[in-house]
Amino acid sequence: MSSLLLERLHRLAALWGPSGREYKVAAALEEMIRPYVDEVRTDAIGNLIAVKKGAPGGKRVMLTAHMDTPGALALEVSEEGLIQLAPVGDLKVHHLIGQRVVWGSGVVGVIQHEAVDESKDLAFRKLWCDIGARSREEALANVPLGDMCTLVGELQQMGADLITGPGLNNRAGCAVLLEVAEHLQGALHEVAFVFATQGAVGPRGVAPAAYGLQPDAAFVVEMTPSGGLPGGPKVAVRLGEGPALKLKDASFVAHWRLSELVRSVAEAEKIPLQTEINSDVDRTGARAVAAAGYGVPTAALDLPARYLGTAGEMVSLRDLMGAADLLMKLLQGSLAF
């Protein structure tokens, strides 16, 4: 396994980069991918697009993972210096209570909630972030209105394969793209690695990117909840059993023949691949990519994860490597579908 994968995950997950404020992550990703591609650019909505040229006769393929994480926006500040929040993405109220966050300005804060008697009375507007300021003026001097915060914490390895911490969704997807960029050799096809913006609130950034590239095929790498835990999501996908090929979710149906190609390559190369037909998951970027311009045949390769949207997200390094490996094998083939 590439030792750079772990290092990249640590670096990427630690970066502040909520939806609409991805510039720091984009800068780091640009630095990390530059040695492996021929051209890097940023578009008007902040997507980072890195292109590795192909050979004549090759197709144009888009590989995409959104680089933003969900968080919260500073909407107002009380007289006592407590910051009132609005959600950016789908973080749940109870996952934020007591959590440490970091703001774009670099300031650290803690999130708390008004005292309530019952959990049904929990509400986002009753949360606040305490940065230790003693007045409204002091708070605003450290966190301007419109700034955003994200969960902060070090990634921890658990055993040989699992890793946990905040920010894995979707930096793990970005790390997979970096793996492919680094190790892809001798591909016929032109590959555009698109690190997209506003995926946690979207899909948003990914649509103009697909429009601009008009690829012949696209693969979207995102995270999906894994099941098998009592009281957890009732889904078939399991952590550690390989990436999951998503055929359908709440708003998207994958391109069948492209998905069949993914399945057959996984089988031929003996890469464990799960099938995901999860009707509850929404917001996938694949839907927006497929509808761009003349239409793009799109497949969705998901990374199983536990506890998405919390400070303790969990992924399997083996699943990430499997996804990267599978994508590489696809790109090294004829991509006929």
Partner 1 sequence: MDLASHLADLVAASSITGREEPLAQLLQSEWAPLVDESTVTPLGSYIGLKRGEGSAAALRSLPLPDKPGVLKHPHARPPGPPRVLAAAHIDSIGGMVTAIEPGGFLRFTTVGGVDRRLLMAQEVEVHGARVIPGLVGTKPPHATSPEDRSRLVPVEELYIDTGLPEDEVRKLVPLGAPVLPRFRFRKLQNGRYSSRYMDNRASAAALRVALEELRTLRHTADFYAVGSAGEEFGGMPGAVTATFAIQPDIAIAVDVTFAKHPGSEEDSFPLGEGPTIGVGPNCSPKLTRVLREIAEDLGMGYALEVLPGNSGTDAWGMQVVRGGVATGVLSIPLRYMHTPVETVDLADIRAAGRLLAHLVSRTDAALVEELSCY
Partner 2 sequence: MLLEKLSNACGVSGREDEVREALRQELAPYVDEMWTDPLGNLIMRKGDGPVKVMLDAHMDEVGFCVGDITSEGYLKLKKIGGLDDRVLPGREVWVTQRRIPGVLGAKAWHLCSAEERRKAIPFKEMYVDLGCRSRAEVEALGVELGDPVYFATIFEHFSPRVVKGKAFDDRAGCAVLGGVLQGEAHPGITLYAAFTVQEEIGLRGARVAAYNLNPDLAISLEGTGCANVPGVDPKETITNMGEGPVISLMDAAGIPNLQVFNLLVEAAREAGIRYQFRRLTSGGTNAGRIALERAGIPACTVSVPCRYIHTNAALLNLDDLEGAVSLIHHFLRKVEKGEFRP
Structure tokens at 205: 């950034």
- 76, 84, 63, 68: which is closest to 12 by C-alpha? 68
- How many CA within 13 A on the CB side of residue 84? 10
For residues 193 and 191, give the distance between their C-alpha atoms in angstroms, rounded to a whole number: 6
Task: For the CB of residue 177, give the shortest distance to partner 2 in the complex, in Å.
Answer: 20
Inter-residue contact 289 to 234 (CB < 8 Å): no
Partner from partner 1, partner 2, none binding residue 269, C-beta < 5-8 Å depending on class: none
What are the two backbone dihedrals, phi and then psi, of residue 233, each rounded to the nearest 5 degrees?
-60, 140
297 counts as binding partner 1 under rule CB under 8 A: yes
- How many CA within 13 A on the CB side of residue 288? 24
Q: Could you say which of 176, 207, 223, 326 contacts partner 2 (CB under 8 A)?
A: 207
Q: Could you say which of 87, 277, 329, 332 contacts partner 1 (CB under 8 A)?
A: 277
Which long-range contacts (C-beta less than 8 Å, at least 24 apart) are formed by 30-35? 32/8, 32/178, 33/177, 33/178, 33/181, 33/193
Task: For the CB of residue 293, give the shortest distance to partner 2 in the complex, in Å.
Answer: 10
Instruction: Please give the residues from 119 up to 178 whose contact with partner 2 meets the rule CB under 8 A.
Output: 125, 145-146
Task: For the CB of residue 299, give the shortest distance to partner 1 in the complex, in Å.
Answer: 12
**36 or 124: whose CB is closer to partner 2?**
124
Partner from partner 2, partner 1, none binding residue 95, C-beta < 5-8 Å depending on class: none
Tokens 């509850």 identify what position?
Answer: 280
Count interface residues toward partner 2 (CB under 8 A): 29
CA dihedral 164, 330, 273, 239 (to 10 degrees): 0
243 counts as binding partner 1 under rule CB under 8 A: no
Partner from partner 2, partner 1, none binding residue 84, C-beta < 5-8 Å depending on class: partner 2
Q: Could you say which of 211, 228, 233, 238 contacts partner 1 (CB under 8 A)?
A: 211
Q: Could you say which of 45, 162, 236, 271 contacts partner 1 (CB under 8 A)?
A: 236
204 counts as binding partner 2 under rule CB under 8 A: yes
Partner from partner 2, partner 1, none binding residue 315, C-beta < 5-8 Å depending on class: none
For residues 248 and 164, give the distance between their C-alpha atoms in angstroms, rounded to a whole number: 27
Tokens 């890793």 identify what position?
Answer: 163
43 counts as binding partner 2 under rule CB under 8 A: yes
Q: Could you say which of 84, 169, 170, 224 contacts partner 2 (CB under 8 A)?
A: 84
60 counts as binding partner 1 under rule CB under 8 A: yes
- 140, 156, 70, 154: which is closest to 107 by C-alpha? 140
For residues 1 and 3, give the distance between their C-alpha atoms in angstroms, rounded to a whole number: 6
Question: Residues in the site for partner 2, rule: CB under 8 A?
Answer: 19-21, 23, 43-47, 73, 75-76, 78, 84, 86-88, 125, 145-146, 198, 201, 204-205, 207-209, 211-212
Question: Residues in the site for partner 1, rule: CB under 8 A?
Answer: 51, 60, 190, 192, 211-214, 216, 234, 236, 247-248, 251-256, 259, 275, 277, 279, 287, 290-297
